[in-house]
Amino acid sequence: MDKELIHHFIIEALKEDVGDGDHTSLSTIPSDSTGKAKLLVKDEGILAGVELALEIFKVVDANLKVNVFLNDGAVIKPKDVAFEVEGNSQSILKAERLVLNCMQRMSGIATKTRQIVDLLKDTHTKVLDTRKTTPGMRYLEKWAVRIGGGVNHRFGLYDMILIKDNHVDYAGGIRQAIERANQYLIDHNKKLAIEIEVRNLDELDQVLQAGHVNRILLDNFNFADLKQAVDVIQGRFITEASGGITIDNIRGYAECGVDYISVGALTHSIKSLDLSLKAI
């Protein structure tokens, strides 16, 4: 966990939610009132965000005490209790919504990821996330993917070169794009992996002739072409498949022999798990 990044996220999220005060709690609950609450599970899936919740409670009120019963990655079902928090009642309520918003979404992502990871069992293919994330929550969402058993792709535009179709078209072709990317790394003394997207077997052939990349993204290939592409590459480059891949067909794509399958739906199209923080 990147504590500095997480701390910044929590501070900004609390500013957005609390503003100049939680006036409902301030007006109805004595300032010295203490209480206890439990994180109640109302759904089935994979729990995620417990470690984050501990940091949120700590930032809101360092005197809050949390007793954790279920950790990140645990399989959960309705009526499970993930943790109990005890201390100042106003502090518990101030933290409540941020804890729930984060944990519900992270648990939904972890659950979807685990579902796909389970579908890929007994293949060597791993599932990747993408940059299709909620602005400001990318770190949390990619963290949830890891909790679910998936693998993080690049975090942003800065930590990898990924030459996609638009880059190729603007650069004037595959060879030009690859050559310029490699020269850029030399000129700027950077060590970044280079991945290039190909749309068909002809573009794959151009990449194989050009070389000087680390990974090839096979986009919107059907099963037959994907299998042929993997056979042609012969392990010389890391392979990744994307586009048109669903729960129903992902196993078939994995059986074509690709190293990775990237699934944008892990973070942009998930159902949050139903969790609640209840006073006890």
Q: What tokens appear for 178 in the block?
A: 């690859």
Q: Is 80 a catalytic residue?
A: no
Q: Give the 3-state DSSP-derived string for 200-255, with helices as H, strands as E and coil as C.
A: CHHHHHHHHHHCCCCEEEEECCCHHHHHHHHHHHCCCCEEEEECCCCCCCHHHHHC
Catalytic residue among 141, 197, 203, 259: 197
Compute CA distances 272 → 73, 98, 169, 175, 196, whole Å: 15, 14, 38, 43, 33
Q: Is 215 a catalytic residue?
A: no
Catalytic residue among 131, 164, 175, 180: 164
Q: Is 132 a catalytic residue?
A: yes
Cα–Cα distance, 74 to 278 (Å, whole number): 20
Catalytic residue among 36, 131, 132, 138: 132
Catalytic residue among 36, 58, 97, 131: 97
Q: Is 164 a catalytic residue?
A: yes
Q: Is 169 a catalytic residue?
A: no
Picking from 279, 280, 276, 242, the residue whose alpha carbon sits closest to that of residue 259 is: 242
Amino acid letter, 121: K
Q: What tokens appear for 163 in the block?
A: 């030459």
Q: Which residues are identified as catalytic?
A: 97, 132, 164, 197, 219
